[in-house]
Structure 1
Amino acid sequence: MPSLPPLPFPPSDSPASAAAVVSALRAAGCVFAEEEAELMIATARTEEELTSMVGRRVAGLPLEQVLGWARFHGLRITVEPGVFVPRRRTEFLVDQALAAAPRASVVVDLCCGSGALGAALAAALDGAEVHAADIDPAAVRCARRNLAAFGGRAHRGDLYDALPAGLRGRVDVLTANVPYVPTDEVALLPAEARDHEPLAALDGGADGLDVLRRVAAGASGWLAPGGCLLTETSERQAETAVEVLTRAGLTTRLAVSEELYAHVLIGVLP
């Protein structure tokens, strides 16, 4: 990672310090330099830490990985370097899950990344049993930290292989924010994602739906009667993705948020 020489910051609560941070971020092409500077100054505990944070952001790391946290559905979610950053549009998936199953008692978050979905659902569903799973050890460590306050558990493994067998047939809400970028389009992603998030969290195979097909194929064995699977997709893939869930035996509909440009599939086990 390119290094940034120490900047001559005055105390971080001074206007001059804020101006120095904004100037460095703006020069690096950060569109929201003022907002990012405010967050870094509020998060950094020392001038040295602030300088390091600015340097990492200038080098291209996602802001959330630089800060060590992301805002998601009213929570501060820990985000470690190399872990997929939860997107604001995915808050729509949480809202759809809560609307579909407001009294859910068992929740599973597959492809959990930081565990943001599981944590948000745990916070809203008081007392729910929450499990998260990911194949990436860094993601699992991060998810464990984010679920700890809610008594949730995070497991490492490939999709359903990671889950305790006792969950079979008991899951009320199964979220799976699967990778859905077609392999040939990964190179077109913004550098923040392409260079600093795990490829396994982005690459969905030739048409972007490989992982979704695997999740859908196994869902009926884990969902409780009336339980629902929720997953995010793109507008272009939505029609085919609905067919994938329908062929897996789920009654499926598509929910869309124009404001967030979010497309969420909701498949219910009859």
Structure 2
Amino acid sequence: MVAVSPALRAATVDRLRRAGCVWAEDEGRLLVEAADGPDSLAGLVDRRVAGEPLEYLLGWAEFCGERISVVPGVFVPRTRTALLVAAAAAVTGPAATVVELCCGSGALTRALARRLRAPRLLAAVDLDPTAVACARGNLAALGVPVFAGDLFDALPAAWRGGLDLVVANAPYVPTAALGLLPPESRRYEAPVALDGGPDGLAVLRRLAVDATSWLAPGGHLVVEVGETQVDLLGAALTEAGLVPTTVRDGSLGATAMTAQRPVGMAGRGNEN
């Protein structure tokens, strides 16, 4: 950060406020800190006023006390997704084997590494090459490999039936509702991270079915979902043989579901 005059700081905040930024003071401070000088600051403010997510301009997002690197196109971790971390920690014992699917930036894995007791963090997975590269940077210090691929298909077959926790902030926005998202999301984040198909549950249903053969007996799948989708997803999880529980946090405006593989349940595909 270089020195910026009080007048320029005030003008920056005023411009952000006039553009509709609710937290103009905070955003202005962060942009000033990120800028290399007045010209750099002007460029960052231009991009923010045009609607580019603040996190892309800064190069990071704060999530559960962690500063997570993000790059353009990668899903920006939301504050509400802290509920997934809490829900996962509540159902997972020590020395758990953990995989994050649809990992995006790898934010959940970073947070869980701090919350869980002596976790054996096996892997994170994403289909988007940009997200994979971003997550690898965020998880390198933890020694967590990040695989490029489609959900469980990306994992080593030897892990089948041995995972204690699978956590995923999978896309759950119905395709027809994508146009209703804030411009920051629909214009800048990758559609693959947002589009959940006709009713928003296309990816989550696949997770429900496949989790039965990848979870260890007693293991849990933990996912985020829209409040209006709870009944449909609960039915899909039950049909797959899992035992669902809904977790809500009104202060975050968030809904999550945990789904346990019963201890006596035979995993699909384990006969091989």
Q: Whole-Å Cα distance in 1 between the matches of residues 209 and 119 of structure 2?
A: 29
The code of the aligned residue for 2:81 comes to T
C-alpha displacement at 1:27, in angstroms?
A: 2.5
The code of the aligned residue for 1:152 comes to V
Measured on the aligned residues, the alpha-carbon RMSD in Å equals 1.5
Q: Whole-Å Cα distance in 2 between the matches of residues 130 and 262 of structure 1?
A: 27
Alignment correspondent of 1:236: 228
Between 161-170 and 216-225, the greater mean CA deviation after superposition: 161-170
Native 8 Å contact 1:174 1:230 kept in 2: yes
Native 8 Å contact 1:40 1:50 kept in 2: yes
Native 8 Å contact 1:231 1:264 kept in 2: yes
The code of the aligned residue for 2:175 comes to T
Native 8 Å contact 1:11 1:17 kept in 2: no
Alignment correspondent of 1:173: 165
1:113-262 to structure 2, matched below 5 A, reads 113-125=104-116, 126-262=118-254
Q: Secondary structure at the match of 1:172?
A: strand
Using the size of structure 1 for normalisation, the TM-score is 0.92
Native 8 Å contact 1:105 1:127 kept in 2: yes
Query: How many pairs were matched up?
Result: 260
Q: Secondary structure at the match of 1:52?
A: helix
Structure 1 residues 47, 174: closer, same or farther in 2, change over 3 A?
Answer: same
> Match for 1:76 among 59, 67, 75?
67
Structure 1 residues 107, 46: closer, same or farther in 2, change over 3 A?
Answer: farther
Q: Whole-Å Cα distance in 1 between the matches of residues 95 and 173 of structure 2?
A: 30
The code of the aligned residue for 2:48 comes to R
Native 8 Å contact 2:48 2:54 kept in 1: yes
Residues 150-178 of structure 1, C-alpha deviations (whole Å, 9 max, x = no match): 11111111111111223212211101111
Q: Whole-Å Cα distance in 1 between the matches of residues 192 and 120 of structure 2?
A: 29
Structure 1 residues 104, 236: closer, same or farther in 2, change over 3 A?
Answer: farther
Tell me whether 1:107 sits opposite 2:104 in the alignment: no
Residues 116-160 of structure 1, C-alpha deviations (whole Å, 9 max, x = no match): 111111232345223111110000011111111211111111111
Identity %: 52
Q: Which runs of 5+ in 2 are unaligned?
A: 263-272
Alignment correspondent of 2:76: 85
The code of the aligned residue for 2:41 comes to L
Structure 1 residues 190, 51: closer, same or farther in 2, change over 3 A?
Answer: same
Between 38-47 and 181-190, the greater mean CA deviation after superposition: 38-47
Native 8 Å contact 1:251 1:268 kept in 2: yes
Between 81-90 and 30-39, the greater mean CA deviation after superposition: 30-39
Q: Secondary structure at the match of 1:221?
A: helix
Q: Whole-Å Cα distance in 2 between the matches of residues 130 and 58 of structure 1?
A: 40
The code of the aligned residue for 1:81 comes to P
Native 8 Å contact 2:85 2:108 kept in 1: yes
Q: Whole-Å Cα distance in 2 between the matches of residues 79 and 35 of structure 1?
A: 19
Using the size of structure 2 for normalisation, the TM-score is 0.91
C-alpha displacement at 1:50, in angstroms?
A: 2.5
Q: Which runs of 5+ in 1 are unaligned?
A: 1-9
C-alpha displacement at 1:80, in angstroms?
A: 0.4
